[in-house]
Amino acid sequence: MSSPIQRRRPQTTQQFVLEELRQAITGGRLKPGAAVRQDALAEQLGVSRLPLREALKTLEAEGLVRHEAHRGYYVVELSLTDLKEVYRLRELLETEAVRQACTRMSANTEVLDALEEAQREVELAAEVGDVSAMTAANRRFHFTLYEAAAMPRLVRLIATLWDTTDAYRALYYADAAHRADVLYEHRSILEALGAGQGDEAVRLLDQHREHAVSALDRLLAER
């Protein structure tokens, strides 16, 4: 299951299994609604059922999988209404985070440098079509900005919302045209932030989310 962009195996078996399952979901190999076949996964990963069960419990708490009695685990499937609610809540919270971050960034180039580094990772993953790596790099890009607000409780709330839609972000990134849109939109956001244009950065981020919701609307209709 490992991404083409090589990753170091975590220290414990449970961490390894958790990371592999998360990558399978966020990378689109386990799609929304899909059953998690524990026996097959345990054999594929070369582990016992115990660390697999513990990893699934963690993913259930994160909102990535759900458990059905006597049936097992499934990747969470959201309706368009659910997605729109999550993205609306993100808009409200992320706008506050970005505005607060912008007030702190004027005298701090480190955040812009970190954003630029994360964006280069997004671009590299997009270039090779590594959806899983792009999903992770995209998250680093956005959360580097949100964490600059120095409001950890707010950032944790935003992270919870992101967790619930990671599988759908993988569907969005599977299309090369969508990946290209993300790169262009990120670059526009970076330019606004670098110019100290906080209101413009907020507007561009709103547009960035709207494009994703519109595309996911079409994808869900097709499914």
- CB contact burial 16-27 (16+ within 10 A = b; e otherwise): bbbbbbbbbbbb
Question: What pTM does this model have?
Answer: 0.79
At residue 145, the pLDDT reads: 97
3-state SS assignment for residue 28: coil
In order of their start, the domains of the chain are 13-75 (1.10.10.10), 80-222 (1.20.120.530)
Quote the CA–CA distance of 214 and 172 in Å, as a whole number.
Answer: 10
pLDDT at 11: 66
Residue 124 tokens, joined = 């590299």
For the chain, which ranges sit under pLDDT 50?
2-8, 10
Which pLDDT does position 182 carry in this prediction? 97
Amino acid at site 9: R
Question: What confidence score (pLDDT) does residue 3 get?
Answer: 45
Instruction: For the beta carbon of residue 64, count every other beta carbon within 10 angstroms.
Output: 23
CA 131 from chain center: how many Å?
10
Q: What is the model's pLDDT at position 180?
A: 96
Which amino acid is present at 209?
R
The first and second tokens of residue 49, run together, are 């059922």
3 state SS of 66: strand
| pLDDT confidence of residue 223 | 65
pLDDT digits (tens, 9 = 90+) for 8-65: 454 688 889 998 898 888 777 888 889 999 999 988 889 988 999 999 999 998 888 9
